[in-house]
């Protein structure tokens, strides 16, 4: 819905500069609150109540000021409760409920919110600033940790000198992102997903978690899941502007499109392909036509690699995957169709174990201590074409991929939870080999378990940031209905099964067997295809020179140079990640 920014003792000029840095997130207007101790503002992307929904929203007595980036999907339900308690409202904007909710329920009101949000509330009576971020971290919120306190939807809007810092570089090389709350900037962190921050008048801070993914088992029915899913899509369709939906040929986005059509919404669908074997745009077009939904298939071409510097800049934080180009291209095209909202299918893979690395994790557990070494030995000896047939990923496995899988099984018994849950989707198994620095922080040990940990790291720092930054760069709001916390809680309380079996049972009610049982096709950039590999390697020779590598002193030039000869899938992904890191560093 917008971008927000603010902080302690800001001059009007400083606040204006901060807001100018995020005008792309909200080109439809600005709102400001200038206080003696705290000031904040927002840039508005008008989605609901286009004429009257301007922020900040203020309590009747003027003591509470509130701004919010995102959407509160259950605002109508909460508004009825608040009206019954004596509060009055004057717009049809979801965020107008925030001052009343804070007054009525205190800081715990965030537990009642169903939506995606990063919000700020200033209470003038006690001089406190209250910040909150949604359960999955769909909307970002960055904080300064040195000097005067500031916050913003994007790092570039903090209005401070930005200095890259390598303390988290080892984490970045392993994961292609830095787990929150850390970043690759000195003095900049994120407010973690599902957390609140209270900044008191004396400068002291209290950070609290208000939601944790459930771990207790409570089996539910397909009827219950069907009802929850339909409700989540209906809530996410609320809009006074044109809406689009991202559609692949997979079960998640197909089920989303089905519910949209069944609810009678007028939505345009968009799909993106890469001109390689993983391209599913023909199937997506056929499915959209079967529902009677208008569809726009587009293609990302290798020439788009030239857009990497621009896309890296708009993302703030370097995400080590050239697939960010696809999210940018999708958003740009969708916005050009006149849409200001796009819906996508993120979530079911996390809730119902749909990723291949989740299946491998659970399989490794079942194999046990004695059988894991035997399986590792077999993998080392099997011909690669046999492994390719067994693997779910569309790219051809190489020798490095084979060793990665075998080593994962061999180390599983003595690995910590972080290594077990991330071992198959880490990029560099031995990051130290590529580092020119010796001082760095060790990887964070996630202790919530495979599925629970996704909501505090994988989703906010890898999956969702790619959508938020690239859609908002084109003044497009991205919504993920299947990240409704009710669906998350339902999914995590079911007996664990891989390959989204429960979700596919739901899909079987509404979709054809062809769609329901279609093999999962990861959305990935086919760098191993000659049309992509050749320009990527050329870019590497131009960017990863001895001079540029040694200028920053973060990476080892000799080890990086070996990647320039990459021809297969995994080394090419490593090469792309290092290119992105160097292009990011070149901005400073």
Helix/strand/coil (H/E/C) assignment for every residue in 46-72: CCCCCCCCCCCEECCCCCEEEEEEEEE
- Residue 535's region, left for phi above 0, alpha for psi from -120 to 50, else beta, is alpha
Which pLDDT band, with edges at 50, 70 and 90, does 449 fall under?
low
What CA–CA distance (Å, rounded) separates 96 from 517? 43
What CA–CA distance (Å, rounded) separates 220 from 585? 49
> CB-side exposure of 106: number of CA atoms within 13 Å?
3
Per-residue pLDDT averaged across 478-487, rounded?
98
Q: Which residue has the higher pLDDT, 567 or 356?
A: 567
pLDDT at 392: 63
Could you give the angle at the alpha carbon of 406 between the alpha carbons of 378 and 349, nearest 5°? 110
pLDDT at 450: 64
pLDDT at 443: 47
Domain 2-209, CATH: 3.60.20.10
Per-residue pLDDT averaged across 30-47, rounded?
96
135-149, 220-234, 238-252, 403-417: lowest mean pLDDT where?
A: 403-417
Name the residue among 219, 253, 225, 220 with its Cα closest to residue 506. 225
Report the mean per-residue pLDDT for the chain: 92
At 199, list the tokens.
């900044």
State the pairing for strand pair 128-133/205-209. unpaired
390-397: long-range pairs with CB below 8 Å, 24+? 391/356, 392/356, 392/359, 392/519, 392/520, 392/522, 393/356, 393/522, 393/524, 394/277, 394/278, 394/521, 394/522, 394/524, 394/526, 395/524, 395/526, 395/528, 395/569, 396/528, 396/568, 396/569, 397/569
Give the residue carrying structure tokens 């984490």: 171
How many angstroms separate the Cα of 301 from the Cα of each of 43, 309, 329, 409, 532?
A: 33, 16, 10, 37, 8
Which pLDDT band, with edges at 50, 70 and 90, does 394 fall under?
low
How many angstroms separate the Cα of 297 from the Cα of each of 6, 180, 189, 281, 330?
A: 40, 35, 38, 6, 10
Residue 281, pLDDT above cutoff 90 = yes
What CA–CA distance (Å, rounded) separates 492 from 515? 24
Enumerate residues 6+ apart whose C-beta is below 8 A from 373: 409, 410
Are the C-beta atoms of residues 152 and 67 closer than 8 Å to each other? Answer: no
Name the residue among 53, 476, 516, 92 with its Cα closest to residue 246. 476
At 470, list the tokens.
């690239």
At 467, list the tokens.
């959508």
Q: Say if residue 186 is exposed, middle or buried (CB neighbours under 10 Å; 0-12, 13-18, 19+).
A: middle
Dihedral of CA 302/306/312/313: which sign? negative
pLDDT at 363: 82
pLDDT at 77: 98
Per-residue pLDDT averaged across 496-520, rounded?
90
Residue 445, pLDDT above cutoff 60 = no
Per-residue pLDDT averaged across 388-412, rounded?
78
Count of CB atoms situated within 10 Å of the CB of 365: 12
pLDDT in tens, 164-212: 999 999 999 999 999 999 999 999 999 999 999 999 988 899 999 999 9
Where are the chain's structural domains? Answer: 2-209, 356-424, 530-585
3-state secondary structure of 110: helix
pLDDT at 517: 86
What CA–CA distance (Å, rounded) separates 467 from 578? 21
At 185, list the tokens.
């900037």
Which pLDDT band, with edges at 50, 70 and 90, does 376 fall under?
confident
Q: Which residue has the higher pLDDT, 148 or 397?
A: 148
What CA–CA distance (Å, rounded) separates 130 from 123? 8
Enumerate residues 6+ apart whose C-beta is below 8 A from 337: 242, 244, 268, 270, 296
Residue 442, pLDDT above cutoff 60 = no
Give the residue carrying structure tokens 């990861």: 522
pLDDT in tens, 101-145: 999 999 999 999 999 999 999 999 999 999 999 999 999 999 999
Are the C-beta atoms of residues 150 and 120 closer than 8 Å to each other? Answer: no
How many angstroms separate the Cα of 468 from the Cα of each of 5, 47, 261?
A: 16, 16, 25
Per-residue pLDDT averaged across 266-280, rounded?
89
Per-residue pLDDT averaged across 407-421, rounded?
84
Residue 546, pLDDT above cutoff 50 = yes
Give the residue carrying structure tokens 């717009």: 91
Q: Say if residue 113 is exposed, middle or buried (CB neighbours under 10 Å; 0-12, 13-18, 19+).
A: buried
Per-residue pLDDT averaged across 367-390, rounded?
83
What CA–CA distance (Å, rounded) separates 260 from 270? 14
Per-residue pLDDT averaged across 407-419, rounded?
85
Are the C-beta atoms of residues 436 and 553 closer than 8 Å to each other? Answer: yes
Are the C-beta atoms of residues 252 and 519 closer than 8 Å to each other? Answer: no
158-172, 516-530, 537-551: lowest mean pLDDT where?
A: 516-530
Are the C-beta atoms of residues 160 and 147 closer than 8 Å to each other? Answer: yes
Name the residue among 319, 192, 254 with its Cα closest to residue 576. 319
pLDDT at 126: 94
Which pLDDT band, with edges at 50, 70 and 90, does 1 fall under?
low
pLDDT at 507: 97
Following DSSP, what letter does each residue of 525-564 receive, concatenated?
--TTSHHHHHHHHHHHHHHS-HHHHHHHT-B-HHHHHHHT
pLDDT at 448: 36
Give the residue carrying structure tokens 């006074």: 240
pLDDT at 469: 97
Scanning 281-398, the segments in alpha helix (DSSP H) are 281-291, 308-315, 324-336, 348-351, 356-381, 384-390
């Amino acid at each position: 819905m917008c971008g927000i920014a603010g902080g302690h003792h800001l001059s009007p000029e400083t606040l204006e500069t901060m807001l100018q840095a995020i005008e792309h997130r909200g080109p439809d207007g600005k709102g400001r609150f200038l206080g003696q101790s705290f000031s904040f503002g927002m840039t508005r992307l008008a989605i609901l109540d286009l004429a009257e929904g301007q922020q900040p929203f203020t309590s009747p007595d003027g003591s509470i000021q509130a701004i919010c980036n995102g959407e509160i999907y259950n605002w109508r339900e909460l508004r009825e409760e608040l009206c019954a308690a004596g509060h009055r409202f004057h717009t049809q904007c979801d965020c107008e409920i925030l001052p009343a909710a804070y007054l009525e329920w205190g800081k715990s009101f965030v537990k009642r919110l169903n939506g995606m949000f990063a919000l700020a509330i200033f209470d003038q009576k006690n001089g406190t600033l209250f910040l909150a971020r949604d359960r999955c971290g769909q909307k970002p919120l960055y904080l300064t940790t040195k000097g005067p306190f500031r916050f913003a939807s994007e790092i570039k809007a903090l209005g401070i000198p930005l200095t890259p810092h390598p303390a988290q570089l080892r984490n970045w090389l392993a994961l292609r992102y830095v787990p929150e709350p850390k970043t690759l900037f000195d003095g900049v962190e994120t407010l973690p997903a599902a957390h609140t921050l209270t900044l008191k008048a004396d400068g002291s801070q209290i950070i609290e978690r208000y939601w944790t993914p459930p771990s207790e088992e409570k089996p539910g029915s397909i009827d219950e899941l069907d009802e929850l899913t339909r409700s989540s899509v209906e809530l996410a369709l609320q809009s006074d502007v044109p809406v689009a939906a991202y559609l692949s040929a997979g079960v998640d986005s197909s089920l989303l499109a089905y519910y949209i059509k069944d609810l009678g919404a007028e939505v345009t669908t968009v799909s993106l392909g890469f001109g390689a074997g993983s391209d599913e745009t023909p199937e997506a077009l056929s499915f959209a036509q079967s529902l009677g939904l208008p569809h726009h298939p587009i293609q990302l071409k290798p020439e788009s690699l030239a857009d990497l510097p621009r896309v890296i800049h708009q993302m703030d934080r370097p995400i080590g995957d050239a697939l960010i180009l696809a999210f940018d291209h999708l958003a740009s095209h969708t916005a050009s169709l006149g849409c200001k909202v796009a819906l996508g299918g993120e979530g079911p893979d996390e809730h119902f174990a749909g990723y291949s690395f989740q299946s491998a994790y659970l399989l490794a557990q079942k194999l046990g201590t004695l059988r894991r070494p035997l399986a590792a030995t077999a993998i080392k000896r099997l011909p690669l074409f046999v492994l390719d047939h067994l693997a779910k990923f569309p790219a051809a496995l190489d020798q490095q991929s084979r060793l990665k899988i075998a080593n994962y099984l061999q180390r599983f018994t003595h690995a910590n939870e972080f290594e077990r849950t991330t071992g198959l989707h880490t990029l560099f198994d031995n990051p130290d080999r590529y580092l020119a620095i010796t001082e760095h922080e060790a990887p964070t040990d996630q202790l919530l378990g495979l599925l629970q940990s996704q909501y505090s790291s994988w989703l906010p720092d890898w999956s969702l940031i790619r959508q938020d930054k690239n859609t908002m760069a084109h003044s497009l709001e991205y919504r993920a209905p299947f990240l409704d916390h009710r669906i998350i809680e339902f999914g995590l309380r079911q007996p664990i099964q891989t390959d989204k079996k429960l979700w596919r049972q739901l899909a079987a009610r509404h979709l054809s067997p062809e769609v329901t049982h279609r093999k999962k096709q990861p959305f990935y950039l086919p760098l191993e295809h000659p049309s992509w590999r050749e320009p990527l390697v050329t870019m590497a020779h131009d960017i990863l020179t001895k001079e540029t590598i040694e200028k920053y002193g973060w990476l080892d030039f000799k080890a990086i140079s070996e990647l320039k000869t990459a021809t297969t899938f995994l080394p090419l992904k490593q090469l792309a990640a290092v290119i992105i890191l160097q292009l990011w560093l070149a901005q400073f």
